[in-house]
Homo-oligomer: A and B are copies of this chain.
Amino acid sequence: MNTQSHTKSTSRSLPIALLRARETVMAPVRDMLQGIQLTEQKWRILRVLDEMGEVEQSAIANEACLLLPSLTRILRTMEADEQITRRQDNRDKRRTMVMITDVGRQILKENLATSLSISNSIEAQMGREKLDNLLDLLEELQAVKV
């Protein structure tokens, strides 16, 4: 008898189930990104910036689910690659405002079709209803206070 015989088996463990599910979804996205020298994180950042316009770094971190120290490093290379621009905010000099560039937008544009076809493939196999159900449950889980 093992130590955790009273616990859920790892196969029915929420953290691992979330991890595995994410692996499945991200595998084809990573294939796409590898072709264009972009990491999953940079892709998320570009999408958030395109969606939100010029925003401060904390907002990006929040939306793209990254910690600020990681973001600092990633934005440094993205700025060097001219995918984004950064400038100090005038009102609050602690803030750095970040914006996507045309280069960044071009990357999104060029990969939109592939990205969409991946989503569509998942939707086709799971069904719209189940997918919505899943997203609702995930949103609810996020809101839990542990």
How far is it, in angstroms, between the C-alpha of A135 and the C-alpha of B48 when the chains are bound? Answer: 28
How close is A109's CB to chain B, nearest CB, in angstroms?
5
Asked if B64 contacts A44 (CB within 8 A), the reply is no
* Contact of A17 with B112 in the complex, beta carbons under 8 Å: no
A28 to chain B, nearest CB (A): 4
Nearest CB to that of A22 among chain B residues?
B18
Task: State whether the Cβ of A25 lies closer than 8 Å to any Cβ in chain B.
Answer: yes
Residues of B within 8 A of A145 (CB): 125
Bound CA–CA A35/B47 (angstroms): 36
Chain A interfacial residues counted at CB < 8 A: 62
Among A20, A29, A141: residue with most chain B CB under 10 A: A141
Q: A114 to chain B: closest CB distance in Å? A: 11
What's the Cα separation between A73 and B15 when bound, in Å?
22
Asked if A82 is at the interface of the complex by the 8 Å CB criterion, the answer is no
B-chain residues with CB within 8 Å of residue A25 when the two chains form the complex? 14-15, 18, 141, 146
If A4-B51, A22-B22, A126-B144 are given as contacts, then 7 extra A-B residue pairs at C-beta distance below 8 Å, sorted by A number, are A3-B109, A4-B112, A15-B26, A21-B138, A122-B146, A125-B145, A134-B137
